[in-house]
A and B are shown apart, each in its own frame.
Chain A
């Protein structure tokens, strides 16, 4: 049986972006269950990240009659009720059942409202998978932005808000770009306000969370003329390359930053020198994983060996960000090797 269709729902992907706008409200046009499933997931994830606030998700609460006669009126009423609560922006996501019955969600959103009401193309599984919703939301929210000036800072684009280490990755990228004398302009989108999003176009550079967001990078380049790099740094060499590439895009020098980071990496790796000659294994088929070169780099640097009789380790997927991420990963490897 084909089990490859487990990449999640477009709704969840889009919500991972829209619920990170702290003064916005997301409307899910569909049965209540779709909103509950996602709200429950986001509630759990926020608690894991020690954030005890709740995302604002409103359901149009479609029932059998709405499915038979159409749900556009329910959507319009819901948007009107939501706007009375004075949000700075409203994001409307559609579900698969709404797509099936053919509600024209876009035209309802395009009516004249007191605050921006953006339709994010989702349509549940009929619109794609988790990543489709996530990319579509990043694209759609950018209509709130204009280029109103120039900031020396960089935007972080597409942080994975459901990732357990999301803030650790943010801190590592912030540390690295501070070596180049710059800082973060906007986290697009993590705990940002609608006004913050309005300043998206002012940054000097967009750093995308991962290469899958390249269409977003290109879109912002054409909208705001902002250059971009395609990923947060991963791996030892990748982190150095990240510094060089960021400096190049910013028109700055990178030599001092690279030298400092190489020293930091050497000191970090020395702390794990006891892993030398250890034999480890990552299970069946890991060598064909796209992340294998990053693991291989560490195995080689630490003079470790790969053998199926070695200590069984979990393959790091996704690979952690930057030098600090590698340090946390090696602590976990050492814990397993010494267990």
Chain B
């Protein structure tokens, strides 16, 4: 069926905005209406701009509008990026001609082009990256302002790389704009679903096994102390095992329904299964499904997810506050936006050793709270 009940995942335009707005010094202009502007402006918690086009602009052309907006914003930013929404994409505005400047980045990112990841990827491909081959360090990619773990992941991966003796070159997409001028040859990821395609991708830092593999791989290209990171991962694993063992002495392992972007969902399922012997009854991915040991259903339809959860009657739901709304009796851990109805001030990671510990800490606390409520 073409329809989708209560779609749960943002559109391509929002993905493009999440990429571009992650660079300090980049002015992001959403070429569209106020309706298209408000959602990314609230989701990304950052300053965005818009041409706020009206019906008149569609009929008579939006050239004046876009030029006026660019002229106003140019003095305030090092670069500008213009993101196309549905209507300008359909009316075929020739933005390159209208703007008449080569230094303004244009991203064709109408909502109907697909999901968040599609827009993010299109935007990343337009970034003016310079890789000279002699920049020391490593890039981090998979960072997105829409991700509740964006800042936490950046801090945590940088800490781990620092422990191994490697500096970070460019963070895609959470950095200063000038960092694009000195990208490194190698890249490690926070979220494999949002790979930048910049530099040689050596693996992700999501989950303890991936951390070990990625830093070991990185050691082939960069002089670094991979053992320091692997030792930390081993210690984290011991702490996880001890905490989960303690839980299992008192309680049965939880049955779990997981929703998320593909990589986060598979990470969450793997952690719960491995350390808590949890039964993964269903995994729903908001975006395209890749290879994994699990049977993952791709859906962003709330009715489908509600059906998956209710037919499996899980103890624990991992996902967003949408999932929490349809499973109010279950323990809940949030891994994807939106995470409404809770205060989140710290930069929490999901990647890195601290991310693994943070996730399982939340799982155990949520399960223990639910056991106490019984």
- The answer to the question of B311 belonging to the interface, with a C-beta cut-off of 8 Å to chain A, is no
Given the contacts A33-B13, A100-B58, A56 and B112 also touching, CB distance less than 8 Å: no
Interface positions of A from 31 to 65, Cβ below 8 Å from B:
31-37, 39-41, 43-44, 47, 52-64
- The answer to the question of B251 belonging to the interface, with a C-beta cut-off of 8 Å to chain A, is no
**A contacts with B: majority SS:** helix
A6 touches B9 (CB 8 A): no
B6 touches A53 (CB 8 A): no
B112 touches A125 (CB 8 A): no
Report Cα–Cα, A27/B53, bound state, in Å.
Answer: 25
Stretch at the interface among A74-82, A137-145, A275-283, A324-332: A74-82
A53 touches B325 (CB 8 A): yes
Given the contacts A58-B3, A125-B34, A101 and B90 also touching, CB distance less than 8 Å: yes
Give the interface size bracket for A toward B: 35 or more
- The answer to the question of B20 belonging to the interface, with a C-beta cut-off of 8 Å to chain A, is no
Given the contacts A1-B68, A67-B112, A125-B54, A54 and B326 also touching, CB distance less than 8 Å: yes
- The answer to the question of A235 belonging to the interface, with a C-beta cut-off of 8 Å to chain B, is no
- The answer to the question of B12 belonging to the interface, with a C-beta cut-off of 8 Å to chain A, is yes
Stretch at the interface among A7-15, A152-160, A171-179, A295-303: A7-15
A8 touches B38 (CB 8 A): yes
B87 touches A58 (CB 8 A): no
B90 touches A47 (CB 8 A): no
A-chain residues with CB within 8 Å of residue B115 when the two chains form the complex: 32
- CB of A2, distance to nearest CB on chain B (Å): 7
Candidate in A8, A33, A58, A95 with the most chain B CB atoms within 10 angstroms: A33
State which of A52, A63, A78 has its C-beta within 8 Å of the C-beta of B112: A63
- The answer to the question of B242 belonging to the interface, with a C-beta cut-off of 8 Å to chain A, is no
- CB of B369, distance to nearest CB on chain A (Å): 18
B322 touches A54 (CB 8 A): yes
- CB of A283, distance to nearest CB on chain B (Å): 21
A-chain residues with CB within 8 Å of residue B9 when the two chains form the complex: 32, 36
Report Cα–Cα, A32/B302, bound state, in Å.
Answer: 13
Given the contacts A40-B338, A64-B112, A35 and B34 also touching, CB distance less than 8 Å: no
B340 touches A44 (CB 8 A): yes
B11 touches A78 (CB 8 A): no
- The answer to the question of A5 belonging to the interface, with a C-beta cut-off of 8 Å to chain B, is yes
B2 touches A6 (CB 8 A): no
A-chain residues with CB within 8 Å of residue B86 when the two chains form the complex: 30-31, 67, 95-97, 100
- Per-residue CB contact flags for chain B residues 24-64 toward chain A (1 = under 8 Å, else 0) read 00000000111111110011000000001111001000000
In the A-B complex, the 5 residue pairs with the smallest Cβ-Cβ separation, listed nearest first, are: A33-B11, A9-B35, A125-B33, A5-B52, A33-B111
User: Known pairs A33-B7, A62-B112, A100-B87. 13 more at Cβ < 8 A?
Assistant: A27-B3, A31-B111, A31-B112, A34-B11, A34-B35, A36-B7, A39-B302, A41-B38, A47-B340, A67-B86, A77-B3, A96-B87, A125-B34
Of the A-B pairs whose beta carbons lie under 8 Å apart in the complex, a sample of 10, sorted by A's number, is: A8-B35, A35-B6, A35-B7, A36-B8, A36-B300, A56-B5, A61-B2, A64-B113, A74-B3, A125-B87
Give residues in B with beta carbon < 8 Å to A: 1-14, 32-39, 42-43, 52-55, 58, 68-69, 72, 86-87, 90-91, 110-115, 300, 302, 321-322, 325-326, 328, 338, 340-341
Give residues in A with beta carbon < 8 Å to B: 1-3, 5-12, 27, 30-37, 39-41, 43-44, 47, 52-64, 66-67, 74, 77-78, 81-82, 95-97, 100-101, 124-126, 129
